[in-house]
Structures are given as C-alpha cells and as structure tokens.
Chain A
Amino acid sequence: NAGVTQTPKFRILKIGQSMTLQCTQDMNHNYMYWYRQDPGMGLKLIYYSVGAGITDKGEVPNGYNVSRSTTEDFPLRLELAAPSQTSVYFCASSYSSPQGRGEQYFGPGTRLTVT
C-alpha cells in the first residue's frame, strides 16, 4: 500500500516555463488536496477535489490549475512559472462521508525552485 505518491521530488524551472506535478493515491479516497509550504510557514491550500470531475479553489489558487479525471490522480499544473511559486508542494487525500470525516494523508512533497 503506497499511500500518496508525488513526482517529481525536486524540480528547477525557469521563469515562464510550465510543468505538471503528479499526485496519485491508492486508498480510494474521494477527497484530494494540493498545498504549498513556503519556508518557515504553515501550509496553504491551493485547490481541492471532492471527487472525480469536481474541483474547487482553495486559499491561494492563482497561477495554478488542476483536474481530477479519476479517483486516484490529481495533477497540479503551473502554466507560467514565477519566482513566487518557489515552494514545497504537498498533495493529500482523505475520505469523507455523511458518517464522518477522515484524516488527511500526505505525500512526501515536491520541492520546486523557479529562477
């Protein structure tokens, strides 16, 4: 059981380049999330999804896009990279039902530098 996996682990982008951060979970969780963690700071929610085909903005969505075509995958797209997007990106997943909310499980993170 791999849990939440993210690729790549590290990436350096030039300003204006694009890339996709991959996230996959094998726990059949309906909810998935993308966070960014800036140095010395807490995590801020970028986007989240409550199920395949449904996504919504979080606290800091500008400059990012997401899609959720399957339960397992939740890629994060950066279209025109900017230095302000230098950060560590974490994907997470959880289950949620009328009977209760589960904890979020986090991937190991992707460290992105934009220069």
Chain B
Amino acid sequence: GNSVTQMEGPVTLSEEAFLTINCTYTATGYPSLFWYVQYPGEGLQLLLKATKADDKGSNKGFEATYRKETTSFHLEKGSVQVSDSAVYFCALSTAAGNKLTFGGGTRVLVKP
C-alpha cells in the first residue's frame, strides 16, 4: 500500500532561519506528490506539488523536488517568517480515485 513518513515536530526556528522538513514515501505505481499547509484553525491549502521525477514544485519561497531514486520530497525554505508558523503535511496520490495519503504532519513555529 501507500504510505508517507515525515519528520515529527514541533520544529522551532528563529525568523530568517533555513527550514527543511523531510518526507519519504512508498507507493504502488507512479504517484504525484504534494505539500499542504494548515494554518491555525483553518483547513488545508495546497502549498506545492510535483507530478513526475525531478520536477521541482515551488510557491511562496518554499521548494520541494521529486526524487524517485530516494523516494523523497523534502520541503525547504531559505528564510522563514513568523507567518510561516503552521502544520505542514506531505501527501501523495496515485491514479485510483485520486485519493491522498498523508504523512502525520510537522508543526513549525517561527519566533521573531
């Protein structure tokens, strides 16, 4: 079956620090990969995605590269802001029903 493993949080950083959240996956077939963000009290929003090997998804200064050889999709941001404090979810989907399989989420707290 499909599964997603991401690093446990919370991750606490100072403003302008570098952020990395590791994500690895196992999947049957060729998945699409996603990072979703959940701000306090809100639903999930798509942050970025990649649909094939070596694709780089990017948005709002965040980046992640689809690495088929290491089955990874690590999220990075070079300089975080307080407004980036949220829970980040790595997820994958395969063709069957376009269903998402989520990792457990990583809470990020950025302090001024």
Smallest CB-CB separation from A108: which chain B residue?
A: B43
Contact A48 B97 (CB under 8 A): yes
A interface size (C-beta, 8 A): 26
B34 within 8 A of A: yes
Of A31, A48, A56, A90, the contact of B43 (CB 8 Å cutoff): A90
Q: Is the CB of B43 within 8 A of A45?
A: no
CB distance from B104 to the nearest CB of A (A): 5
A100 vs B36: C-alpha distance when bound (angstroms): 19
Residues of A within 8 A of B97 (CB): 31, 48, 50, 56
* Listed stretches B14-22, B44-52, B65-73; interface member: B44-52
CB closest chain-A residue, reference B8: A40
Query: Hey, what's the 0/1 contact readout for B28-41 against A, CB within 8 Å counting as 1?
Result: 00001010100000
Complex interface: chain B residues within 8 A of A103 (CB): 34, 46, 49
Q: Which residues of B sit under 8 angstroms from A102, Cβ to Cβ?
A: 98
Nearest to B36 among chain A residues (CB) is A106
Q: Does B93 have its Cβ within 8 Å of any Cβ on chain A?
A: yes
Known: A43-B89, A50-B97, A101-B93. A109 touches B43 (CB 8 A): yes
Q: Is A106 touching B95 in the complex (CB atoms < 8 A)?
A: no
A43 touches B102 (CB 8 A): yes
Q: With the chains together, A51 CA to B62 CA distance in Å?
A: 34
B residues engaging A (CB < 8 A)? 4, 32, 34, 36, 42-46, 49, 89, 93, 95, 97-100, 102-105
